């Protein structure tokens, strides 16, 4: 009788770094290593201690740029080949990864896309409707429901509006204790709803309120939050791909929260397109009990002081026509030329960061990554080169007109119309022409000009 030959054990290999591929993402490989086999060097790249590595593959899987791989000695490779040859007739059953199966099970409980509807005195922030538009796309990719969360006092009307903008369901918490935004009260409201219904995605506006609430909710729920996203989509595993500028705007990073739910993102106003409003849309409003009393909330709102009472503030983010100036304007005094053009158009004046840093325009007029995101009908860029940090703030304008004397300026890549030449000649000529056009149409022309 011949004794059955035991097949050799499948070698697990050792993790190794592929030269030149590491992007120093922040020691993700080190943090997942269960045996402390990964140390980071000064450049933020991993040094793997082969004598400690147990071949668990965790670092290889977590690397966002496939900079790590498993290496095998010649002997291990020979065994692998031998094993591969012996399993030709048997369907190879992949090794059961208990940890992954458990994770999948835990995440599967979460279902649905939610948008938090921010409101002040019963009026919704426009960004909430913009997020319903994006939320609808995400919900369609996940084949799940899009719901809105409305909180406040006497805000039932917002539920109807949310349905008109695309929500299939609205969770409503309506009580005097929620009249004014207070972090603790709203956090408890949102967390109670999340624990009860378990959505997989929550979107909030990157406004003062949204940033505050999203941060505290994510902390309470022990989940991930990506702030100021400029792009959102779903990957083939059902994770939310959250894209935002990183490393000072030099790269766009896509962040995935693949181990926790809900996945939370904030998005600045005007980044996402406004969806159409359908007054005939139907949906369900679910009235939820408010899980707190006034006595439990330590913060009291004594008085509301409204900002901008002087009327001097200009909201460039909401303007339909923006005439922006950059370093090419050469000085503060030349912005009066832009002001004149903006007035003819019924618009406002914006600026690049260079112009703001030079003190030619106030910071609230800055367009771009560290300024405001705008989506006007017409954006006229005057003496602006078109650095990526500027483009991310205005490239979704309906029409972009660029005036620049450098024909190779990157602004022309996003421009619908480009004028190559000296802005000091072109802008006055344009203003004169528009004024004449308006005058010839006076009586029939509306306040804002049609060019």
Residue whose CB is less far from ligand FAD, 257 or 382? 382
Shortest distance, position 100 Cβ to ligand FAD, whole Å: 38
The two structure tokens encoding residue 111? 């279902």
Shortest distance, position 398 Cβ to ligand FAD, whole Å: 20
69, 51 Cβ separation under 8 angstroms: no
Residue whose CB is less far from ligand FAD, 189 or 350? 350
The two structure tokens encoding residue 409? 């300026």
Residue whose CB is less far from ligand FAD, 220 or 405? 405
The torsion angle over the Cα atoms of residues 172, 294, 120 and 262, rounded to 10 degrees, is -50
Residue whose CB is less far from ligand FAD, 262 or 328? 328
Shortest distance, position 256 Cβ to ligand FAD, whole Å: 23
Residue whose CB is less far from ligand FAD, 210 or 328? 328
Summarize as ranges the residues that interact with ligand FAD (CB under 6 A).
Answer: 248-249, 326-328, 352-355, 366-371, 383-385, 387, 389-390, 393, 403-406, 409, 422-424
Residue whose CB is less far from ligand FAD, 239 or 324? 324
In whole angstroms, give the CA distance from residue 38 to residue 53: 8
240, 202 Cβ separation under 8 angstroms: no
Residue whose CB is less far from ligand FAD, 332 or 450? 332
Residue whose CB is less far from ligand FAD, 27 or 358? 358
Residue whose CB is less far from ligand FAD, 48 or 381? 381
In whole angstroms, give the CA distance from residue 430 to residue 432: 5
Residue whose CB is less far from ligand FAD, 239 or 397? 397
In whole angstroms, give the CA distance from residue 404 to residue 281: 46
Shortest distance, position 349 Cβ to ligand FAD, whole Å: 13
Shortest distance, position 189 Cβ to ligand FAD, whole Å: 34
Shortest distance, position 240 Cβ to ligand FAD, whole Å: 25
Shortest distance, position 175 Cβ to ligand FAD, whole Å: 40
In whole angstroms, give the CA distance from residue 46 to residue 30: 7
Shortest distance, position 338 Cβ to ligand FAD, whole Å: 12
Shortest distance, position 332 Cβ to ligand FAD, whole Å: 13
Give the CB-side neighbour count of residue 162, counting CA atoms within 13 A: 34
Residue whose CB is less far from ligand FAD, 249 or 318? 249
289, 178 Cβ separation under 8 angstroms: no
Shortest distance, position 413 Cβ to ligand FAD, whole Å: 12
Shortest distance, position 405 Cβ to ligand FAD, whole Å: 4
């Amino acid at each position: 009788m011949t004794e059955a030959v035991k097949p050799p054990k499948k070698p697990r290999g050792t993790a190794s770094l592929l030269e030149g591929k590491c992007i120093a993402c922040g020691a993700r490989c080190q943090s997942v290593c269960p045996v402390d086999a990964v140390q980071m060097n000064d450049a933020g790249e991993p040094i793997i201690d082969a004598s400690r590595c147990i071949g668990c593959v965790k670092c290889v899987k977590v690397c966002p740029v496939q900079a790590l791989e498993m290496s095998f000695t010649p002997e291990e490779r020979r065994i692998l080949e031998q094993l591969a040859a012996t399993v030709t007739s048997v369907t190879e059953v992949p090794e059961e990864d208990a940890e992954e199966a458990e994770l999948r099970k835990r995440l599967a409980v979460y279902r649905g896309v939610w948008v938090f509807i921010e409101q002040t005195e019963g009026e919704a922030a426009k960004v909430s409707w913009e997020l319903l538009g994006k939320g609808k796309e995400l919900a369609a990719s996940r084949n799940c429901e899009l719901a809105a969360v409305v909180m406040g006092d006497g805000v039932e009307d917002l539920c109807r509006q949310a349905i008109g903008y695309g929500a299939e369901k609205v969770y409503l918490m309506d009580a005097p204790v929620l009249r004014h935004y207070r972090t603790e009260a709203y956090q408890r409201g949102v967390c109670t709803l999340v624990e009860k219904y378990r959505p997989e995605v929550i979107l909030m506006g990157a406004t003062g309120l949204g940033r505050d609430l999203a941060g505290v909710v994510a902390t309470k729920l022990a989940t991930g939050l990506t702030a100021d996203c400029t792009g959102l989509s779903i990957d083939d595993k059902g994770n939310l791909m959250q894209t935002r500028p990183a490393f000072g705007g030099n790269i766009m990073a896509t962040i995935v929260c693949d181990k926790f739910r809900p996945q939370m993102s904030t998005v600045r106003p005007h980044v996402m397109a406004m969806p159409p409003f359908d007054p005939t849309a139907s949906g369900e409003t679910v009235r939820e009990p408010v899980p707190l009393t006034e006595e439990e909330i330590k913060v009291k709102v004594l008085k509301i002081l409204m900002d901008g009472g002087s009327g001097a503030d200009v909201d460039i983010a909401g303007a339909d026509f923006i005439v922006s100036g950059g370093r090419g304007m050469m000085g503060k005094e030349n912005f009066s030329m832009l002001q004149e053009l903006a007035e003819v158009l019924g618009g406002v004046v914006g600026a690049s960061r260079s112009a703001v840093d030079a003190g030619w325009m106030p910071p609230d007029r800055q367009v771009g990554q560290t300024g405001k995101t705008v989506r006007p009908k017409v954006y006229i860029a005057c003496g602006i080169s078109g650095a990526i940090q500027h483009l991310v703030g205005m490239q979704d304008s309906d029409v972009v007109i660029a005036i620049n004397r450098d024909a190779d300026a990157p602004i022309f890549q996003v421009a619908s119309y480009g004028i190559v030449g000296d802005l000091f000649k072109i802008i006055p000529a344009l203003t004169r022409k528009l004024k004449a056009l308006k005058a010839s149409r006076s009586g029939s022309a509306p306040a804002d000009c049609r060019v």
